[in-house]
Amino acid sequence: MDDYLSKSIKDIANNLNSDIKKGLNDIQVENNLTKYGKNELPQGKVTPWYLVFLHSLFEPIQIILMVAAIISVVAPLIGTTWKVNLEDFIDFIVIFMIVIIDAILETFQTLKARKSMDALKSLSKPKAIVIRNGNQQEVEASSLVVGDIVVLEAGKYIPAEIRIIEANGLMIDESILTGESVPVEKTSKEIISTSILAEMKNIGFMSTFTTAGRAIGIVIKVGVDTEIGKIATSINENDEEATPLEKKLGFFTMIIALLSFSLGVIIFIALFFSGDRTAWSNYLMVAITLAIGVIPECLAAIISVTLSLSARRMADENVIVKKLKAVETLGSVNVICTDKTGTLTQNKMTVTKLVMDNKISEAKDYLKHKKDRHLDLFLKALVLCNDSVTEGDERIGDPTELALVDFAEVTGLDEQKARELYSRVNELPFDSERKMMTTVNNIDDKYNVFTKGAIDQLIKCCSKIMIDNVIRDITEEDKVELLNIAKKLSRDALRVLAFAYKTIDNQNEDLESDLTLLGAVAMIDPVRESAVSAVRQAKQAGVRVVMITGDHAVTALAIARDLELAQDETEVMSSEKLNEMDDEQLFDIIEQIRVFARVNPEHKVRIVNALQKRGNITSMTGDGVNDAPSLAKADIGVAMGITGTDVAKQAADVILIDDNFETIIKGVNEGRNVYAKIKRAITFILGVNLANVLSIFILSTINTVSPLEATNILWMNLIVESCIALAVGMGNNDPSLMKVKPIKGKNSLFKGIWFSMMKIIFFLTICSIAAFYFGMSFVDENHLKKILDTFKNDPDNIAKYADLDTATLAKEGWFQVYRNHPEIPMGLKIEIGDYGRTSIFMTITCAPCLFANFIKLSQWQTSKKINFVTNKPLIIASFIAAALNAIALFVPGINNNILNLLNTQEYFDHWYMLPVIFGLVILPTVGILLVDGVVFVSYHYFPDPWRRNQKIVKEFIEVDKAIAAAEKEKAKLKKQKQQQK
């Protein structure tokens, strides 16, 4: 680009073999098209739906589940001489169904987001006016080639990168590329080479918008070689990084796989050496079954369902999530880097203050002001000395002029009627040397001159001033006072335009002399009110907001003050200082900076990279092409749906349909709740699974016989656990999660769940073991002899077990039969354990239906008030699971034939068995609630000395801050009163 900045137009045309007057001929166009390519931006790679599905299908946790499913079929075969039964495939089928459903959900969400993003793409401007073969013609913008001569006019997009040849009041809005909210005046003169895009005053960048004036330019770059093309190319070349949730799930999968394998080995070794070694195949099957039992088969489905529900809720809140796992990433964010223009501000210049009668007034005060002669003339000056056009939804012109028209309209002067009634008869266009514009309008058959311009220039042309509806001579004191007012407004990043008028007899008079000063307006691209609220919510949630903009430091700091992001210059860094720093120096200071001003796209990537190296989970919010590289680099990129460019939307992970910065805070809240729900589900699943494995392992080691069969464990894993765990992610969001700071740095899925998980493991294991031995207490001598006699007298066993002394064995008791008699087959030992198996089965399947509703991982430390978040789907799921358990326990055929539990008659014979076991079922819930109650009360009412001191210090700091804020506000009001005087 540097070559085109400092070279003369003649040299550029010669180098490109182009004619400034006649343009290119057809042959040159064809040659240049072949040489430089079409004027089109590179399209992003679109992954076919089947590859999206396969990628979802072969994620680490899915692979582990599929391996577990295969093992679930092979394991039973080891102990049955490879005899295949249909029930052996139940686990296999269910696990594979879960995996496939999860992959379908992920694929559906990805394709749905892609479709929504395509619908949001803005309409392109495909036409361009070009001079070729000496004639002016309209062609497709994509057919432009290097060397073409292009004609520009207000209201049109610039179709390629051009060097300005001629310019007449040309103003270009470059905010999508540079982030600068105010249109830039362009020139055809040579300038000194610079690397800052915002200072390339003789270049028109592709896809920027012409707001005013006319120009002719020569195409110097097309397509991928343009600034926007380079950005689009860099985004397409970037490899997609795994989200924090994907990284955490990968680590979690590895840990679970190692834990499962280790437990399987330990359990097999313990059973083999403590029991009958000839039954090794049975022990191997038990070990494999329990190892598989640790793996949370339904976790993938839980995550997908939870994320899908959250994505749907976010869609209702005007947020499109392109990738499901990006929802959780939002919740992990602790730094939001955001563009200013169009994101924090309205991207619309607005008159905020008026300077009339030598004092500053709020613009809103004039909305109900009684229109007097002074205000009437002032409003006419705003509208008539103005080239902008507004008609319906179409708004063409310089944003500052559009702002003047908007203010006049809401204050009572209709722009179109005024221009029709007071026709323009003469004008002196604005130019950069005079810094003024003048029109002559016919008002009541008199020539009225209206002039607007920079106050320091316009004031030199004024001999009079209107004060309180009275025209008098302007004094030096007036001029000094007005210039001081202008300086004050400029320090607040307000753009000041002054207005004057006079009445003349004929148009041959000097139009810009002997004027009467009417006043001035001060305007700015104001902050969104919702953005102010959103920044406050972010602070409360411990999320730091960093503003990154292409505007000047003064403007950026003024906006930051309005947003309460920064207060003084030490928190602002400009691109010049940033360029002087290496990455290590930036790393050292990055945490102290709240505003980055006058930055280029590559600066944004450096900033995001430095924040990430600091251990921050970083979000980048923006709408322009200049934001796209940093959107792609950030952990979570958030693009604007209305004002956002296609390039920005392509690079982002999330799109805000309503362009409201506050919506991203809703996304953070949703993300935190998603993560909490996933962790709650993991706590529940692992807690229950490990409790089951531990209790079965302990009982199997002591008794040499597993207290449960594979069908019992399968019922637990696939019916009760899945039914309840799937509903964990369907509940209401917990508002307390937005009152604490996010954890900086590594935050694994295991972090913060150990205490809750250990409570489940401890209470459920104890109650399960107690339930087993309580059930086995019904196996007395008579009952044991009855079972042994029935087995001995079976026609298939008479010959083999004729010498079996059932009376002696019955006197020894069931425990000794288990431990000391390897000659008794394992099948008989399993039958002896029906009472114990039924009791432990009832405990491990029914207890989770209760305590699943009381797993508390939310931030209860934030308030002394108990904040219980209801989860109706979980309550319903718990009742369904309990009903299924009732069917399993009490329906004949299912209880004794399929699950090898007691038949229904046994419950009537031992009526007190059910109440006791029910007491053991509710005991884990009672124990968990008691522990939580003790922890809650001790935390809030009996804090330890260190935390009590911290609390006192925090209260002192809050009081000091409040006093300082009050003193600052008092000083500010005092200063404002002095200025008004």
Distance, in Å, from the CA atom of 180 to the CA atom of 626, rounded to the nearest integer, reads 11
Own/partner pairs for 762-766, CB < 8 Å, 24+ apart? 762/927, 763/851, 763/923, 763/924, 763/927, 763/928, 764/687, 764/688, 764/691, 764/692, 764/695, 764/843, 764/844, 764/847, 764/848, 764/851, 764/924, 765/691, 765/694, 765/695, 765/698
Taking a C-beta distance cutoff of 8 angstroms, is the pair 209, 173 a contact?
yes
Q: Is 339 a catalytic residue?
A: yes
Q: Is 123 exposed, middle or buried (0-12, 13-18, 19+ CB in 10 A)?
A: exposed
DSSP-assigned states of every residue in 176-213: HHH---SPEE--SS-----S-GGG-TTEE-TT-EEEEE
Q: What's the one-letter identity of residue 77? A: L
What SS3 string covers 497-553? EEEEEEEECCCCCCCCCCEEEEEEEEEECCECHHHHHHHHHHHHCCCEEEEECCCCH
Distance, in Å, from the CA atom of 502 to the CA atom of 462, rounded to the nearest integer, reads 10
Query: Residue 518: which residues within 8 A CB-CB, separation 6 or more?
Result: 356, 374, 377, 378, 381, 466, 499, 500, 501
Looking at residue 740, the DSSP 8-state letter turns out to be S
Q: Give SS3 for 453.
A: strand
Q: What angle do CA 171, 172, 174 make, to 5 degrees?
A: 150
List the catalytic residue out of 91, 173, 276, 339. 339
What phi and psi values does residue 592 have, to the nearest 5 degrees? -95, -15
Sole residue written with tokens 């202008």 = 486
Distance, in Å, from the CA atom of 25 to the CA atom of 928, rounded to the nearest integer, reads 84
Sole residue written with tokens 């009275």 = 470
Distance, in Å, from the CA atom of 489 to the CA atom of 244, rounded to the nearest integer, reads 45
The token pair that represents 32 in the structure block? 């240049």
Measured from the Cβ of residue 33, the count of other Cβ atoms closer than 10 Å reads 16
In sequence order, the β-bridge partners of residue 545 are 336
Q: Is 270 exposed, middle or buried (0-12, 13-18, 19+ CB in 10 A)?
A: middle
Distance, in Å, from the CA atom of 152 to the CA atom of 112, rounded to the nearest integer, reads 39
> What are the Cα distances from residue 71, in Å, to 64, 293, 322, 628, 899?
11, 12, 35, 47, 21
The bridge status of strand 424-431 relative to strand 515-524 is: unpaired
Measured from the Cβ of residue 247, the count of other Cβ atoms closer than 10 Å reads 14
DSSP-assigned states of every residue in 638-694: EEESSS--HHHHHH-SEEETT--HHHHHHHHHHHHHHHHHHHHHHHHHHHHHHHHHH
Q: What's the one-letter identity of residue 334? A: N
Q: What angle do CA 642, 648, 653 make, to 5 degrees?
A: 95
- The beta strand positions in 350-435, using DSSP E, are 350-356, 359-362, 389-391, 394-396, 424-431
Q: Give SS3 for 464.
A: strand
DSSP-assigned states of every residue in 574-600: EHHHHHHS-HHHHHHHGGG--EEES--
> What are the Cα distances from residue 861, in Å, to 540, 638, 678, 864?
15, 31, 20, 7
Taking a C-beta distance cutoff of 8 angstroms, is the pair 844, 689 a contact?
no
811: left (phi over 0), alpha (psi -120 to 50) or beta: alpha
Distance, in Å, from the CA atom of 764 to the CA atom of 467, rounded to the nearest integer, reads 85
Active site residues per annotation? 339
